[in-house]
Amino acid sequence: MINGVAAVWAVYSVLSKKISTFGYQTIRTTKRVFFYGILFMLPTLFVFDFHFEPERFENPVNLFNILFLGLGASALCFVTWNVAVKY
C-alpha cells in the first residue's frame, strides 16, 4: 500500500513539473487538479453509502476544522508543493 501511495505521489510530482513548463499559473493548475479529483470521487459517494448531514456544521468547531483542512492543510500545501516542484 505504501509503495502504491509513493508511486502515485511520484506520478503527480512529475506531471505537475511537466504542467509547470507550459506556463500555467500554479494556483490555477492546483484548482483544476482539485476539481477533477472531486469529480472522480463523487461516484464513490453512492458506493459507500454516504449521507450528507449539514447540521454537523452548526457547531463552529466542526466548521472551522473543515475550513482549515480544506484551505490550509490541503489547498495551501498543494500550491506550495507545486511551486517547489516548478522551481
Q: Which residue ranges make up each domain of the chain?
A: 2-86
- Whole-Å CA distances, 52 to 37, 48, 57, 65: 19, 12, 11, 17
Q: Can you tell me the distance from the alpha carbon of 6 to that of 24, in angstroms, rounded to the nearest whole number?
A: 25
pLDDT of residue 1: 67
pLDDT by residue (tens digit) across 18-65? 988 898 888 888 889 889 988 999 999 889 988 888 898 899 999 999
pLDDT of residue 3: 87
Confidence of residue 75 (pLDDT cuts 50, 70, 90): confident
pLDDT of residue 14: 92
Span 63-72, average pLDDT: 90
- Helix, strand, coil share of the chain (percent; to 5): 85, 0, 15
Q: Can you tell me the distance from the alpha carbon of 33 to that of 68, in angstroms, rounded to the nearest whole number?
A: 19
User: Are 35 and 29 a contacting pair, CB within 8 Å?
Assistant: no
